[in-house]
Structures are given as C-alpha cells and as structure tokens.
C-alpha cells in the first residue's frame, strides 16, 4: 500500500515538473526528463537528508527551480535532476554521457567541481572566488544550475548543524548572492541574501521581520493614503500609469541601518512607490514630477535625474524623495514602461553602482546583459536551446585561480606553472623551488596548472633558478626574478674572471688599459670584456695563453697568433658531422659549449673568424643576442640522418634523500640503452638531495626518455636538462 502511495506521489511530482517545463521552456523533451527523473529517484532512494526527507526531493526541487524560477532549457532541467548522482552514487560521467548526452554530462561535471571548490576553504577573497567559478566552466548553465542548487539548500538549512549553517550562509552571502545579482537574477539574489542573513544574524533578522510584519498593514495603509491624491491628479490629466509599492527585503534594510547608522523607523525608503507610465514619451516623467512636487514638498538633495543623464548601463528613471503625510519621507521612482523594462531586464550592470565594486569588469557587465537578453527576452518560439548549446563562456579564460595549502587564492595567467605560483607567494620561495605537489601529487616544475588546483611548493636552500625556467614560466614577476638571479650569478662570474685575469696580468707584468682590453676582447671575438672574463672564470679560456704566448713573436702580431692557436684546438673538439647548407658547405664546425646541442635539438650555425662555424641550439641565449647584432653570420644547419657519435648532456635532479636513491638513479641511467655516465655530483641537506649528472647520449629523444624514466623514481621531485661543458 505504501509503495503504491509513493508511486502515485512520484507520478504527480513528475507531472508537475513536466507541466512547469511546458509553461516556461521553449521546447521540452518529455522522455529525457522522465528518464532523468527515474534515474535520480532510483539512485537516491536509500538516502535521506538531515530533515528526514528522501534525498531525491533535493534534485527534484532544484529541477523545479530551473524550470520555474530560472527558466533555461530542458537540458538544464535534466542536469538539475542528475547533478548529484556522480558525486553521491556509483554512477559515472561516462554513463550519464551515454544515456543523456555530452551536454548533460558536462553540466553535471561542472556543478560537481564547483561544489568542491569551497570545501574547507576560507572565503575571504569573495571576488576572486566568483571569478574562479567562471574560469572553471565553459557552459553558463553550470553556474545557473548551481544557483538553483544553492537556493534549495539554503531554503532547507534549518535542519543542519549550526556551524554548517553559518559556513553555508556566509558562502551564500559573499559568493552566490552578489554573483546572482551580476547575472541579473534579482529575485534569486534577494532570497539568497535574506536566507543567509537569517542564519548569520538571527537576532537582527527576527527583530526586523517582526517590526515589518507588525507595521505591514500600517505601511500599506500609509502608501494608499499617500498615493490617493497623486492617482486622482494623474487621472485628471488623462495619464495612463501603474502605481505600485516597492517592498524592501530584510537584508537590504539591515545594510542601510548599518551603513547610515539609523534605526528601522528612520529608513525612509521603507515607504517607496514606483510610477510606470504607459507612454514612450520621457517628457511625461517630468510632467508627473511637477504634479507630485506641487502636492508634496520635495527633498532637494534626494533628487536624481537618470533620464537626461542615463547610467552607463542605459538605466533611466527619475528618483525623487518627498515629505508625505505626517511628515514621513517617501521615495518615488518615475519612468516609462520602456525604461522600466530596461531597468528590470537590463540591470545586470546595476551592481556596479549599488555595491561600489571596481569598474574594470565592463566585459562582465556587457556579457551579463547579453545573458539576460537570452534568458528573459527570448520567446518560446525562439531557438533558445540552440543559442545555449553554442554558447561558450570565455570570461576569465586568460586567468586561473590556484589554492595554497591553507586555502588562499592566487590569480595567475593561463598556462602558469608551479614556478610561477612559487614566485607569486614570495621571490625567495621561487628562487629555492625544488619541486611541487599539485592536488597532493608530485609533478614536474613545468606542469601547466588549472583553475581550482591546490599547489604545495617544496623548497631547498641548495636549489637556484636556471635558464631553462625561462622557457616555461609565464608571469612577468617570475621571468624578472629568474633573469635577475641569472644576471647576479653572471656578475659574480665576471668578477671572478676579472680577478683571475688581473692576477695573471700582474704575474706577467702586463698592465693593459681599458681600451687595450676592449680591443683584445674584440680580437678574441667577444662582444665585450664581460664575456671574456666570464669564460676565464669557467675555465673556457686561459688568460696565461693570451698574456704570455709561447711563441716569440712581434708585439703587434701576438694576439692574432694566440687566437689562431685557440682555433686549432677548437677544430679538434668537433663531435660529429653537421649538414651545412648553402655556400658554407665543408667549413669546419664545432659545438658551442654555452648550450651543448645534441641531435634532435633545433640548431643553427654562427660563422666565427678563425673558428669556422659554431653550432648552437636555437634557443641559446647567446645565439639569440648575436642574431640581433650580427644576423648575416647565421647559417642554416641540420643534423645528419645517421651518426654514431655520442654527445654529453647534463641532467639536474632534485628529490627526497631516502636510502638507496643514488643507486636507483644510477641503475635507471645505465640500464637504459647502456647509457654511460660521465660524472655525478650529489649533495644532500634538509632531508633533500640535489644532483647534477653528465651522461653520454645519442640524441634528444635518448635524453628525454631518460629524463622521463628518472621522474618516475620514488622521492624524485624534479628532473631537468641543464647545459654542461664537455
């Protein structure tokens, strides 16, 4: 008997839902809605809410909100019915997509993700959270189904624990209510605010509600008394109009009491009326204003003319405050029917003026106006479903919002990495960033982050930026910090090289002037002495061979002959045949030690004087600089198709210092294609290790696969290629 009664009740619920859809939606797929209704019921039938009601009542009521209060389309209704099945049951997204289509599955997935954003998080950065929500979804219906979900949740909040009540109420007031207002969902915003207010400040809510209820008849009677002479005069002038009271919701009254530091009795616009003229002539508004001001004394500083000077969102109306019967203040709005339609349906930008928010959200303002036009101005005969299906939300898609482990939000550009996130926290954190955990999982430092990710940065005092970071960091702050560090390190090398040079010069009693050092640098094919001193510091050039050549030669020829001896040495270092294109075929080549190219790297040649062609990686910082100043020296080159040569490559590796880690790393390297290790340098500290390993590889693919194998080893945080001298 009970099951029969339940069956009848559920059948009536389905019929009510379908009827609401037929009344409010442009097209209705009854079979799809019925199917979703049944699946939702079966999935949740053994679950109950805190109120004791079957859990199924929640998705059903959310679907009713979508059908009646935020009328979208039938896909949204189906998604509302199913919005909790993936999160709360064994049903997966693939099943939803197969049975109900990809659109429904995407919306359900989006609503689930949004629901998980706030769990355990502090919502002190409300505006960022609203942008985060937008950045996470591409279909506007995700946001609107979530509004419906929140609306029903807060309507039934009385049954949950008081602590949870406050958390949800705060979240609703600071995130969802202002967000709903931006979407132009005024009635939804009104209810969300009042319901949240009830749980955040029950005493004030109860007091205001009680006072307003007690004075409701008095207020309605006063408005009627105030309006009667105005209505008589307007009718006497043959004007067609509608005069209505404008009730204020409780939270709005409370905010005014706080902001203006006034009591409830002093809030003048508890008495407020609106006059809507059934005319397209704006001059009639001024005519009505004159009639009212003849009867009731106006308050000058409370008059605002938004007809002659409309707001930026095209809002037009006259705002006037007068002294009514018994000396009470009454606020009046006067507008034409067309102005009223714009004010009601195009108030998407009104939040900007009411809430003192920043004016940089003009894109959001324009977009929400368009959304309102779709949802509120489209008739049932228009293809609303097709408009929505093709609609893609592109606001804030150039930004992502990332959580710290403590739940704080950081805003970053699209495609940002853990290194960008680290620098966003602090420059020192970025400079010592050794690894990262994204959503609890260790990832490479060049991993692209996505909105909603939680990122934990692992640091080590032994870690420092390297120039490979410049290839993947996105923020200006990160790039500047990395370059600044690299420049400081270069300054140190230059200083060290200069000290070495000065000591050698003193030893051989060669007191060269600044001009002579400049000339010598150019003779040695350096752009400036800094580059010369840098190479001295890293041992690339021995100042003794320059300052004290072995051969007894005339002073004016010494630099040329010494340089030629360097050329001869360089020619003996060549590590394999390069295919040189054009007129430079057959010219001797060597590999640049600044970037150590290996087969597979994009490369280019640079013609030197005396050293033939230097082969650089195309992304080498030196070649990038030289290409700007001496582009005519660049030569197209390619790797040969087959070449048995081996090349030296560097691997930089960081991780947790666990027993046997060095052995594991060595085994991974030597067991892959019998790779030989040239040198290993491992240092430990703070329970971390940092290693640099030089290996012989055949090409770039060989190196990349080796790096990928190392990344999978236990305790390894990051593995990157770095430039190593042969």
Indicate which residues carry an active-site annotation.
87-88
Calpha distance 288→398 (Å, rounded): 49
Identify the residue whose tokens are 């960033």.
433
Burial of 294 (0-12, 13-18, 19+ CB in 10 A): exposed
Q: Which residues contact 70 (CB under 8 A, 6 or more apart)?
A: 144, 147, 148, 185, 188, 375
User: In sequence order, what E strands does 526-609 have?
Assistant: 579-580, 589-591, 603-607
Whether residue 348 contacts residue 182, with contact meaning beta carbons closer than 8 Å, is answered with yes
* CA distance readout (Å), 252 to 6, 190, 578: 42, 9, 76
Helix/strand/coil for 145: helix
Whether residue 83 contacts residue 39, with contact meaning beta carbons closer than 8 Å, is answered with no
User: In sequence order, what E strands does 241-364 have?
Assistant: 241-245, 272-277, 297-298, 304-305, 318-323, 329-336
Calpha distance 316→132 (Å, rounded): 33
**What is the per-residue DSSP string for 413-448?**
ETT--HHHHHHHH-HHHHHTEEEEEETTEEE-TTPP
Calpha distance 241→330 (Å, rounded): 19
Whether residue 354 contacts residue 382, with contact meaning beta carbons closer than 8 Å, is answered with no
Whether residue 163 contacts residue 418, with contact meaning beta carbons closer than 8 Å, is answered with no
């Amino acid at each position: 008997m009970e099951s029969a009664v339940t069956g009848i009740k559920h059948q009536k619920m389905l019929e009510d839902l379908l009827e609401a859809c037929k009344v409010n939606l442009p097209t209705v797929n009854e079979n799809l809605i019925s199917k979703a209704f049944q699946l939702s019921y079966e999935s949740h039938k053994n679950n109950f809410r805190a109120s004791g009601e079957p859990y199924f009542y929640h998705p059903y009521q959310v679907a009713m909100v979508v059908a009646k209060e935020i009328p979208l389309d039938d896909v949204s209704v189906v998604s509302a019915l199913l919005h909790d099945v993936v999160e709360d049951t064994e049903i997966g997204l693939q099943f939803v997509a197969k049975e109900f289509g990809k659109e429904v599955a995407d919306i359900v997935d989006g609503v689930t993700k949004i629901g998980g954003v706030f769990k355990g998080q502090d919502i002190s950065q409300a505006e960022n959270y609203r942008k985060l929500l937008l950045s996470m979804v591409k279909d506007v219906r995700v946001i609107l189904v979530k509004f419906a979900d929140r609306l029903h949740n807060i309507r039934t909040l009385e049954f949950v624990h008081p602590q949870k009540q406050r958390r949800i109420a705060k979240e609703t007031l600071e995130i969802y209510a202002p967000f709903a207002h931006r979407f132009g969902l005024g009635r939804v915003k009104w209810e969300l605010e009042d319901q949240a207010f009830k749980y955040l400040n029950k005493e004030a809510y109860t007091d205001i509600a009680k006072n307003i209820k007690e004075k409701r008849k008095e207020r309605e009677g006063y408005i009627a008394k105030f309006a009667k002479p105005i209505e008589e005069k307007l009718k006497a002038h043959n004007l067609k109009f509608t005069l209505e009271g404008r009730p204020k919701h409780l939270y709005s009254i409370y905010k005014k009491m706080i902001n203006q530091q006034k009591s409830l009795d002093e809030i003048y616009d508890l008495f407020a009326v609106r006059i809507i003229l059934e005319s397209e002539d704006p001059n009639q508004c001024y005519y009505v204003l004159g009639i009212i001001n003849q009867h009731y004394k106006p308050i000058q500083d409370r008059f605002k003319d938004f007809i002659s000077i409309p707001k930026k969102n095209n809002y037009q109306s006259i705002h006037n405050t007068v002294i009514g019967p018994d000396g009470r203040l009454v606020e009046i709005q006067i507008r034409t029917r067309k102005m009223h339609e714009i004010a009601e349906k195009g108030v998407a930008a009104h939040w900007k003026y009411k809430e003192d928010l920043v004016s940089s959200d003009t894109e959001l303002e324009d977009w929400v106006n368009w959304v309102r036009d779709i949802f509120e101005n489209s008739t049932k005969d228009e293809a609303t479903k097709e408009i929505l299906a093709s609609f893609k939300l592109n606001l804030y898609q150039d930004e992502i919002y990332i959580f710290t482990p403590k739940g704080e939000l950081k805003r970053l550009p699209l495609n940002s990495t853990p290194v960008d996130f680290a620098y966003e926290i602090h420059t020192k954190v970025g400079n010592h960033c050794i690894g990262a955990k994204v959503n609890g999982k260790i990832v490479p430092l060049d991993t692209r982050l996505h909105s909603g990710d939680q990122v934990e940065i692992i640091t080590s005092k032994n870690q420092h930026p390297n120039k490979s970071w410049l290839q993947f960091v996105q923020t200006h702050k990160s790039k500047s910090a990395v370059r600044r560090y690299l420049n400081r390190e270069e300054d140190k090398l230059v200083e060290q090289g200069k000290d070495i040079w000065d000591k050698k010069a003193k030893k051989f009693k060669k007191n060269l002037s600044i001009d002579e050092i400049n000339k010598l640098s150019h003779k040695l094919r350096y752009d400036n002495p800094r580059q010369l001193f840098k190479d001295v510091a890293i041992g690339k050039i021995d100042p003794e061979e320059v300052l004290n050549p072995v051969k007894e030669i005339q002073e004016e020829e010494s630099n040329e002959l010494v340089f030629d001896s360097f050329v001869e040495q360089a020619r003996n270092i060549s590590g394999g045949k390069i295919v040189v294109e054009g007129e430079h075929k057959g010219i001797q080549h060597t590999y640049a030690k600044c970037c150590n190219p290996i087969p597979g790297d994009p490369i280019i040649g640079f013609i030197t004087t005396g050293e033939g062609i230097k082969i650089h990686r195309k992304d080498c910082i030196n070649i990038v600089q030289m290409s700007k100043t001496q582009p005519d020296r660049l030569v197209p080159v390619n790797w040969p198709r087959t070449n048995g040569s081996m090349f030296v490559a560097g691997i930089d590796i960081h991780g947790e210092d666990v027993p046997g880690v060095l052995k594991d790393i060595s085994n991974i390297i030597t067991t892959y294609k019998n790779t030989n290790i040239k040198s290993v340098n491992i240092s430990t500290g703070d329970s971390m290790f940092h290693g640099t390993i030089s290996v012989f590889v055949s090409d770039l693919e060989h190196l990349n696969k080796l790096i990928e194998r190392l990344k999978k080893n236990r305790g390894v945080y990051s593995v990157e290629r770095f430039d190593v001298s042969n």
